[in-house]
Structure 1
Amino acid sequence: MKKRERQAIIRRVIVNNAVHTQTELVLLLDREGLDVTQATISRDITEMQLIKVPDENGHTYYTFSTDRPIDGESKLRRNLNGNVIDMTINNQFCLLNVLPGNGPVIASLIKQMNYDEVFGVLSDDSTVLIIASTIDHAVEVRSRLAELGAE
């Protein structure tokens, strides 16, 4: 089985179960028909950026780092500030040219914000393409990002 398929199953197991330990995850994956070692699971947990958060009883369980409550706007502001070279709009597209290495992080943060105006976000190392639902929404997104420090 390919790593991508295994990690998709891990994702499903984590979403559907409160998994407290790597050993517990290995057992749950065994029930899914996957024969994996704890070392493999440990690498997957790191690569998938799974984190442990406390439940209402104080016990910790695995979840995805984007599932934890964060102040996404502050994080986006920090990453936009000083990293955006320029920002342009063409129809419903908003294009950010950013310093090399910042494209994926900024794109991920914009996705996490779940802006209603944003249809999708694509990026490479130094570019972020925000696809808005309409031309007016592209203008709104540009304004919002400018307020957060993109210019």
Structure 2
Amino acid sequence: MDKKLRHQLIKQAIREEAVNSQSDLVDYLAKRGYQITQATISRDMQELHVVKTTQDDQFIYRLPEQRPEQQDNDSFQTVLREAHARIDRQDNLINVETLPGSGSVIADAIKQRHWPEIFSVIPTDDSVLLILKRKPAAVETVWERLTEILK
């Protein structure tokens, strides 16, 4: 199956239905005659910057309004808030806790900001670890930015 068509169908499914899991997308595509693995769906969702958010007390997938590299501070703030991001810090590390399935999207959005204080961004399914350079004020600068965005 063509990747572009698969991406279009994934977007269509997310817009039309309350998609709660990747297996929902596998089933959606199967009903349309396309046998796709969950691993392929997972990669596609990361490429599409799909985030998991809450709606009516359940988790659902949502497409971002814009790709992270096109985001301004308002849309970056929206992505962080919809992922219920919480931050904590220790030494030269800042950890961003998110809803399950949102870690890689948040990591991509942070990377696109090209903050010079960041040494590395390490995503998991539900968090992002920021390793900051050991320069005076690096941690404080990034902490203040994130705190301001999350207000």
TM-score by length of 1: 0.52
User: What code does the residue aligned with 2:145 have?
Assistant: R
User: What code does the residue aligned with 2:103 have?
Assistant: G
* 1:43 correspondence with 2:32: no
Question: How far apart, CA to CA, are the structure 2 residues paired with 1:44 and 1:94?
Answer: 36
Q: SS at 1:145's partner residue? A: helix
1:121·1:129 contact (CA, 8 Å) conserved in 2?
Answer: yes
Q: 1:142 to 1:79 in 2, by over 3 A?
A: same
Tell me the alpha carbon deviations over residues 15-42 of structure 1, each in whole angstroms, 9 at most, x when there is no partner.
xxxxxxxxxxxxxxxxxxxxxxxx6xx4
Q: How many residues align?
A: 95
User: What code does the residue aligned with 2:147 have?
Assistant: A
1:84·1:98 contact (CA, 8 Å) conserved in 2?
Answer: yes
Deviation of 1:147 (Å): 0.6
Q: 1:69 to 1:145 in 2, by over 3 A?
A: closer
Structure 1 unmatched ranges of 5 or more: 1-38, 51-64
Structure 2 unmatched ranges of 5 or more: 8-43, 49-65
Please identify the structure whose Cα radius of gyration is greater. 1
Deviation of 1:43 (Å): 2.1
Q: How does 1:1-151 map to 2 (within 5 A)?
A: 42-43=2-3, 47=44, 70-84=70-84, 86-134=86-134, 136-149=137-150
Q: Which runs of 4+ in 1 moved over 4 A?
A: 44-50
* Aligned-residue identity in percent: 24
Deviates more, 1:69-78 or 1:103-112: 69-78
Deviation of 1:69 (Å): 6.6
User: What code does the residue aligned with 1:147 have?
Assistant: E
TM-score by length of 2: 0.52
Q: SS at 1:131's partner residue? A: strand
